[in-house]
């Protein structure tokens, strides 16, 4: 277990009759960025709270930095830094006071404290505002200060619970850069929960997908996407003669064709090679094509295939406009749907 930073064995948490986390097994290597992907209410935050010693598991075991989260919480706390879902700050302190208090509670000597606060100030990048009360900060500044507070004692393992929810794109990119740097240059293990596809895709060495408290898939982003198998050509059409479907199906390399409203989803092993023949087939059958796009499978396609629903309901979620990260409400419907029959993923790559 030495090279493993986080291990869980059938870890579960029950609230009343509801299992928020229901038997999750994880093995996360030291220095790895592990993305935990799932919609609101899937159980991400509950798992983080168990691993951070805030909640006791109802079943199973969890080990962080080699210590049992249920039996050795004091030892776990020394090794972890945590930025919870909502920036947990005291608005009546200044940023500097908050960081200094945090450092004092981790037993840092005064000289180390001063040096460390100065160092993390380079991260939060809020200039002279660091000496202003936190109630004057913007949402993005609060998130960055929250991250700095989590890093003040140079933790071995960092838990980031939806760290970029509510951030503008620029701030989000900055957090991503920092997360990568922490991993590459300090070897910090990072457990990152997110509901943003591109965040998991960009940052994580491996991704775990959680749905209804259960881990439904795990692997590198590329490996997970390969399980979906094919590229997708999305054709938006104004008119679609019935013969068009057969014409497209007849194109070499096309594996499946699904028509949904004014969209034709054409699954092909090599999308780039099939693009032109598909366009010709549509044109030849009399279809009026408004646009034709090729995209590779996304993690949303993986999620859709595994759970029958999309991970993200709308584009707003991907640009930080939706700041409701509550983990007690399932914002994504779970009605069964045929894989491949959904709309293109908002977080999908072109």
Applying CB under 8 A, which residues contact another protein? 52-56, 73-74, 77-80, 82, 84, 86, 88-93, 97, 101-102, 104-108, 111-112, 115-116, 118-120, 122-123, 125, 133, 144, 149, 151, 153-155, 174, 177-178, 181-182, 184-186
Q: Which is nearer to another protein, 73 or 308 (CB)?
A: 73
Q: Which is nearer to another protein, 104 or 283 (CB)?
A: 104
Q: Which is nearer to another protein, 116 or 310 (CB)?
A: 116
- Structural contact between residues 275 and 294, judged by C-beta atoms closer than 8 angstroms: yes
Q: How far apart are CA 157 and CA 145, in angstroms?
A: 18
Q: Which is nearer to another protein, 93 or 293 (CB)?
A: 93
Shortest Cβ 115–another protein spacing (Å): 4
Shortest Cβ 116–another protein spacing (Å): 6
Q: Which is nearer to another protein, 79 or 343 (CB)?
A: 79
Q: How far apart are CA 151 and CA 103, in angstroms?
A: 10
Shortest Cβ 212–another protein spacing (Å): 21
List the end-to-end C-alpha distance of the chain, in Å, as a whole number: 40
**Cα angle 274-202-338, degrees, rounded to a multiple of 5:** 50
Alpha-carbon distances of 94 from 102, 130, 173, rounded to whole Å? 12, 6, 25
- Which bin fits 193, alpha (ψ -120 to 50), beta or left (φ > 0)? beta
Q: What are the two backbone dihedrals, phi and then psi, of residue 319, each rounded to the nearest 5 degrees? A: -110, 15
Shortest Cβ 229–another protein spacing (Å): 37
Shortest Cβ 320–another protein spacing (Å): 16
């Amino acid at each position: 277990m030495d090279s493993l930073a986080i291990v869980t064995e059938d870890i579960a948490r029950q609230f009343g009759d509801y299992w928020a986390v229901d038997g999750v097994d994880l093995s996360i290597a030291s220095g790895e960025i592990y993305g935990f992907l799932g919609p609101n209410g899937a159980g991400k935050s509950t798992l983080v709270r168990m691993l951070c010693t805030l909640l006791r598991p109802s079943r199973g075991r969890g080990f962080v930095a080699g210590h049992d989260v249920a039996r050795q919480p004091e030892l776990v706390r020394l090794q972890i830094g945590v930025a919870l879902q909502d920036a947990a700050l005291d608005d009546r302190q200044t940023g500097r006071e908050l960081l200094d208090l945090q450092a004092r509670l981790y037993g840092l000597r005064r000289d180390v404290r001063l040096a460390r606060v100065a160092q993390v100030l380079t991260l939060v990048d809020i200039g002279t505002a660091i000496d202003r009360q936190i109630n004057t900060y913007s949402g993005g500044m609060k998130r960055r200060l929250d991250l700095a507070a989590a890093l003040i004692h140079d933790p071995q393992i960092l838990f980031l619970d939806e760290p970029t929810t509510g951030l503008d794109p620029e701030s989000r990119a900055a957090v991503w850069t920092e997360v990568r740097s922490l991993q590459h240059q300090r070897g910090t293990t990072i457990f990152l929960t997110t509901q943003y596809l591109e965040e998991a895709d960009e940052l994580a060495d491996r991704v775990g997908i959680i749905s209804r408290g259960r881990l439904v898939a795990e692997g590198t982003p590329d490996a997970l996407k390969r399980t979906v198998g094919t590229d997708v050509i999305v054709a938006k059409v104004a008119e679609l003669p019935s013969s068009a479907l057969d014409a497209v199906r007849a194109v070499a390399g096309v594996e499946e064709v699904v028509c949904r409203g004014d969209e034709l989803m054409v699954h092909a092993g090599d999308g780039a090679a099939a693009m032109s023949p598909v366009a010709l087939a549509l044109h030849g059958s009399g279809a009026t094509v408004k646009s034709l796009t090729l995209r590779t499978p996304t993690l949303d396609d993986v999620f859709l295939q595994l759970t029958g629903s999309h991970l993200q309901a709308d584009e707003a979620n991907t640009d930080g406009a939706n700041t409701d990260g509550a983990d007690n409400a399932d914002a994504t419907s779970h009605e069964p749907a045929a894989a491949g029959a959904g709309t293109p993923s908002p977080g999908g790559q072109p």
